[in-house]
Structure formats: C-alpha cells, structure tokens
C-alpha cells in the first residue's frame, strides 16, 4: 500500500505552511544579530552549548533519522542495529573526545571556517591546503545542496502532487532568504526548532505506537517482538541471511558509518568550533549524546512498529513508514505537526550545506584574492552575495542535472569528505608532527581513492566508508614520517 493522505492532506498542508512561515520569520529575526563576516560564517564563535548541540544533531541526522533509518529497520528488521551502533558510537566519540578540543583549537588559531583551521594548524603549505580543501568541499557540497533541493521537490510531489520542479522552488524559497540574511546564526537557530520537533517525534511516536498496536485488533502483530518473528527469520537475525565472511561484511558495512563522524563532516565540525567556551562545550556534549541515544532508539522502533501495523510488505516505499505510522496512530492535526517537522528538517538540511559552501568559497578562495577591497563593501556583504549565487546555481543544477548524477556525487561525500577529513582532523589534533605537506597528500589521496573505488563498482564488494578512512590513515602516517622536518623542535 502507499501512504494515504486523503482526508488529512489539507490539514497537513495548512500546518506545513504555518510552520514554514514561522520558521522563515524566526531565521530572519536571528539574522538581525549578524553584524560582521565572522558572525555570518561561524556565529562569532559565541554559541551557547544547547544551540550548538541541537543544531549539530538536526544537521547530522534530519532525513536519515526520520525517513532513512526507520525505513531500513522496516525493510530488514534488527540487522539495522549495526548501522545504529556505528552511527551512535561515532557521534558519542565525537562529542566526548573531539568537540571541546575543536572548540579550543578554533579559539587558539582564531579561525572561522573548517579549512581555515586545517590550514593554520598545518601552516607550511597553508595556502595550498586551504585552496585544495575548500575547493574539494565546495565542489561536492555544491551538488549536495542541489540534491537537497531535488529531494525536497520529490517529497512535496509525493505528498501533495506538486510537480517536482515547483517543489524544488518552494524548498529553495524557504531556505534561501534567512540563510542569505543571517548566515550561520540563522541556520543554527532554525535547526534548533527542527531538532526539538524531531526528538519529540522520535520519542512520542514509538511510545504511542507501542500502545496502539497492543490495544488494537486487525494489526499484523500486537507487539514489536511478535511482528519481527512473524515477518520471517531474517528479520530477527543480526546477520540477515549472511554467514561467515558475508556476516562480517554486513557488520562492518553498518559500523562503517562510525568513521565519517570523527571530525570529518565540515557542516558538523563547524558547530563544535562555534561554541562559546569550554563550559558550554560540556553542556553541548551532554545534550548531543542524550539526543542521539533517544533519537536512534526511536527511529529503529518506529520502523519495527511499521511492521506490526502494515506487515513487512504493506508499504510500497519503505522510507514512508514514519509518516504512515504517525498518520495511523495520531489524530490528523497532531500527525500533521509531527510530519511537518520531519519534512522541514529534511529539506532544510540544505541550509547548513549552503552556508558552509558559501563560507568556504568566500573566506578561503575569493577573499584572499580581493587585494583592493572596495570602500563600503564589507565581508558580510560579499558573504551574502556568494551565498545567494551558490544557492541560485545549485537550484539550476538540480533542475537540469540528471538526478542519478547528483545522488552519485552525494554518495561520495560520506566516504570521500568524511573519511578523508576525519583522518586530517584527528592527526591535526593528536600528532604534533603532522604538517601541511602530509595534510595535502592525505586529502588528495583520500578523494581520488574514493572516486576511483566507487566508479569502478567495487563499492558493492567493500564499502569505501571503511576503506577511504584507512587509506587516508596510512597515507597520513607515512607522509608525516617522510615530510616531517628533522630539525623541528616539536
């Protein structure tokens, strides 16, 4: 069956319009406090811990926690626990071990972008490290922004029958105004709203869902456990149908998400760098970890509740299990609010990617070239102009590029960007010998390996989410031994 919105469609539309209008107004209001280029790019490095934590979680999870993971749990059963373990372990490690260190490093080196830190920390070849890092991130995230516009268009088409072309335009019109006006600050505080709605959905939904299936007849099953058992043996196996080597591949493929969280996702790491002080970093750590534990448990449970309500083959598109469950267990208006928050969180992921791309492009590539700065034209002015241009070009890319091209490029991001830059960040934080030459070689090697590996079709054998990290790790270690200056006092 498909998710049916007849009868509830108007309610959902009204709630969505009100929610999105309020969201835009909130983002614009926060943008009034932006006065400088540093405010625009990193919030003046003055974020309270709660805002940084909720923004990082909304940016990091959004559509994944609300649509992707519940859908995977609905389709495969408990085997999806390995993915959750990989993600949760990575997130907890990052918040507990890396977040406060990255905040302190941002203050120490007085940086306002992700690559600005890498370049200043590894100052020998800082110019090339800055340019190559920024270009790599901007290139891939530029298409990532376009993919988010495309995803928003498809979602609105699925739910309301709105043509995807118009849906992409609606998505862009929601995101672009407050992002251009308020930059990083507006993005962070709109993300806070998304994170609150998301966690309410992922806590209240499973609790009500478990009660619903246990108290209503006519379900496929009356509990999560019986639903998994009745769905088939593969749904109750931690290894699916795999044995031996295949089971090991299944475990590692799920756990491989861990490596991309270790500081290598610029849109997440920037949140750590923007926290006001060490005390706020500790508060952010606690909030970030608690949010993650509840969110992932709730996402898995929603998927399994979907099996109990609809059966393992009851939905034609597994990734609509979350809205299907909510529409089944809640009155229309409550379901509409929760689903609207989920959709808004998904389509607004683009704002974080957009502001990151614009900041990297302006601060690290365009700004150094502006030798003769026009009088009256501030960094804030140019940051806004660059943000607007990237948004417009990304929207055109979403319109005219084949969707498979965009999503193929997006698939490179977690491995190529996440795996590669996680190694660069870890070595920058924990090994004094690591230097600019090593950073440059590691970045180029990691990206080239990812592109070649995925393009060759080997991704189907062993995921590059694992291999890119270890290729970059070996490259960073060996190149550091080769390039480390013997006369250094480090």
483 within some domain: no
Q: What is the per-residue pLDDT for 99?
A: 93
Q: What is the total count of domains within the chain? A: 1
Give the separation between CA 468 and CA 484, rounded to whole angstroms.
23
Give the separation between CA 421 and CA 438, rounded to whole angstroms.
12
Q: Give residue 245's domain range.
A: 9-403
User: What separation in angstroms does the CA of 378 have from each of 2, 38, 46, 187, 430?
Assistant: 52, 11, 21, 21, 36
**Residue 209 DSSP class:** H
437 within some domain: no
* 136: its two tokens: 């790599």
Q: CB of 224 within 8 A of CB of 383?
A: no
If one counts every other C-beta atom within 10 angstroms of the C-beta of residue 46, the result is 15
Bridge partner list, 275: 47
370 within some domain: yes
Select from 387, 382, 391 the least CA-distant residue to 37: 382
For residue 470, the SS3 value is: helix
Give the separation between CA 133 and CA 394, rounded to whole angstroms.
20
285 within some domain: yes
Q: What is the per-residue pLDDT for 6?
A: 45
466 within some domain: no
> To 5 degrees, how large is the angle CA 208–CA 214–CA 220?
105
Burial (0-12, 13-18, 19+ Cβ within 10 Å), 74: buried
Tens of pLDDT, residue by residue, the chain (490 residues): 554 444 457 777 888 888 888 888 998 998 888 888 778 888 888 899 999 999 999 888 877 788 788 988 999 899 889 889 999 999 999 999 999 999 999 999 998 889 999 999 988 888 899 999 998 888 888 777 877 787 777 777 766 777 878 888 888 888 888 888 888 899 999 999 989 988 999 999 999 999 999 998 888 999 999 999 998 888 888 776 555 556 666 677 778 888 888 998 898 999 999 999 989 999 999 999 999 999 999 999 999 999 999 999 888 878 788 888 998 899 877 887 888 777 777 766 788 888 888 888 888 888 887 665 554 567 788 888 888 888 888 888 777 766 656 556 666 788 889 899 999 999 999 999 999 999 999 999 999 999 899 888 888 778 888 899 999 999 999 999 998 765 444 4
442 within some domain: no
Select from 447, 449, 444, 435 the least CA-distant residue to 482: 435
**Residue 314 DSSP class:** S
415 within some domain: no
479 within some domain: no
Q: What is the CATH number of the domain that holds 300?
A: 1.20.1730.10
* 69: its two tokens: 């993971």
Give the separation between CA 268 and CA 212, rounded to whole angstroms.
36
> What is the pTM assigned to this prediction?
0.87
């Amino acid at each position: 069956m498909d998710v049916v919105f007849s009868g509830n469609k108007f309610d959902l539309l009204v709630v969505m319009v009100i929610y999105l209008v309020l969201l835009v107004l909130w983002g614009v209001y926060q943008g009034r406090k932006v006065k400088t280029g540093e405010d625009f790019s990193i919030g003046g490095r003055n974020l309270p811990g709660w805002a940084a934590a909720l923004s990082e979680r909304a940016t990091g999870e959004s559509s994944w926690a609300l649509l992707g993971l519940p859908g995977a749990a609905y389709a495969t059963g408990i085997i999806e626990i390995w993915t959750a373990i990989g993600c949760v372990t990575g997130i907890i490690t990052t918040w507990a071990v890396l977040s406060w260190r990255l905040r302190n490093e941002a203050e120490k080196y007085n940086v306002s972008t992700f690559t600005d830190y890498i370049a200043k920390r590894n100052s020998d070849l800082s110019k090339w490290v800055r340019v190559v890092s920024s270009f790599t991130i901007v290139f891939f995230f530029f298409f990532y922004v376009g993919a988010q516009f495309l995803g928003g268009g498809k979602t609105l088409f699925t739910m309301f029958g709105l043509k995807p072309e118009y849906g992409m335009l609606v998505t862009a019109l929601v995101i672009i105004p407050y992002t251009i006006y308020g930059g990083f600050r507006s993005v962070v505080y709109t993300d806070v709203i998304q994170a609150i709605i998301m966690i309410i959905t992922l806590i209240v939904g499973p609790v009500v869902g478990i009660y619903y299936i246990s108290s209503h007849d006519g379900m496929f099953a009356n509990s999560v456990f019986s639903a998994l058992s009745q769905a088939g043996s593969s749904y109750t196996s931690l290894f699916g149908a795999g044995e031996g080597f295949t089971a090991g591949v299944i475990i590692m493929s799920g756990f491989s998400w861990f490596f991309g969280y270790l500081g290598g996702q610029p849109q997440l790491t920037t949140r750590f760098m923007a926290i006001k002080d060490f005390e706020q970093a500790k508060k952010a750590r606690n909030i970030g970890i608690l949010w993650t534990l509840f969110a992932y448990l709730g996402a898995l449970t929603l998927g399994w509740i979907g099996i109990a309500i609809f059966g393992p083959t009851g939905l034609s598109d597994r990734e609509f299990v979350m809205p299907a469950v909510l529409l089944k267990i809640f009155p229309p208006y409550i379901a509409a609010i929760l689903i609207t928050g989920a959709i808004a969180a998904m389509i607004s992921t683009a704002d974080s990617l957009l502001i990151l791309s614009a900041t990297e492009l302006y601060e690290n590539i365009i700004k150094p070239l502006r030798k003769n700065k026009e009088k009256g034209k501030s960094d804030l002015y140019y940051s806004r102009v660059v943000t607007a241009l990237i948004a417009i070009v990304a929207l055109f890319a979403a319109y005219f590029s084949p969707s498979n091209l965009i999503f193929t490029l997006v698939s490179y991001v977690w491995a190529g960007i996440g795996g590669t830059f996680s190694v660069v960040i870890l070595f920058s934080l924990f090994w004094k010998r690591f230097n600019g030459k090593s950073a440059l070689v590691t970045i180029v090697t990691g990206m080239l390996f990812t592109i070649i590996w995925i393009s060759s079709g080997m991704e189907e054998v062993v995921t590059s989410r694992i291999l890119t990290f270890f290729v970059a790790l070996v490259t960073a270690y060996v190149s550091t031994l080769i390039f480390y200056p013997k006369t250094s006092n480090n």
